[in-house]
Amino acid sequence: MSNKNHQKCISRTKKRQVKIDGAHEKNIFELLIKGHKAMSAYQLIDNYSQHYGQVLKPMQVYRVLKKLITKHLVHRINYNNSYVACFNENDHEAFVGFICDKCSTIEEKTQDPVKELTKKFGLSKNHISQTNLEIVGTCQNCL
């Protein structure tokens, strides 16, 4: 992903003006928005100690991630039990994305396919609180 596109994603994310509570929440979110890579809780612990000089316990990180998910700032990636910042400015109920199985790069896509599937399956009248559509493969940079 080009640096220009990356900066655009970061500014879109920061524009949402969601209140972030505390230093741990702010710092973990900052680590996640630095790149489009999925990171596990343990990778976040390592990066946190390198960047901020403090070692967090796994339970602390999982609590922060849960809060960030609730605020629609982070998505949990089921494929590899990792987390990625939400770069979508408007829709947050679903994650639709491409995950590179070599470099862990994430490309978040529009939710239109999920909305179409919901309508097609006759579920559009239901309240759907969470959807993950994960497409895993090899990105163009890793081919």
Flag whether the pTM goes above 0.75: yes
In a domain, residue 51? The reply is: yes
The conformational region for residue 81 under phi > 0 = left, psi -120 to 50 = alpha, else beta, is: left
pLDDT digits (tens, 9 = 90+) for 91-143: 566 788 888 888 878 888 877 777 788 888 888 777 777 778 899 999 999 99
SS (H, E, C) the chain: CCHHHHHHHHHHHHHCCCCCCHHHHHHHHHHHHCCCECECHHHHHHHHHHHHCCCCCHHHHHHHHHHHHHCCCEEEECCCCEEEECCCCCCCCEEEEEEECCCCEEEECCCHHHHHHHHHCCCCCCCCCCEEEEEEECCCCCC
**Contact assessment for residue 129 and residue 93, using Cβ atoms and an 8 Å cutoff:** yes
Q: Tell me how far apart the alpha carbons of residues 81 and 89 are, in angstroms, rounded to a whole number.
A: 24
In a domain, residue 143? The reply is: no
In a domain, residue 94? The reply is: yes
Query: What is the domain extent for residue 13?
Result: 3-137
Output the domain CATH number for residue 116.
1.10.10.10
In a domain, residue 142? The reply is: no
Number of domains in the chain: 1
pLDDT digits (tens, 9 = 90+) for 62-98: 999 999 988 888 889 998 899 988 876 655 667 888 8
Strand partners, 98: 107, 135
In a domain, residue 65? The reply is: yes
Q: Tell me how far apart the alpha carbons of residues 28 and 137 are, in angstroms, rounded to a whole number.
A: 27
In a domain, residue 27? The reply is: yes
Structure confidence at residue 41 as a pLDDT band (50, 70, 90): very high
Structure confidence at residue 2 as a pLDDT band (50, 70, 90): very low
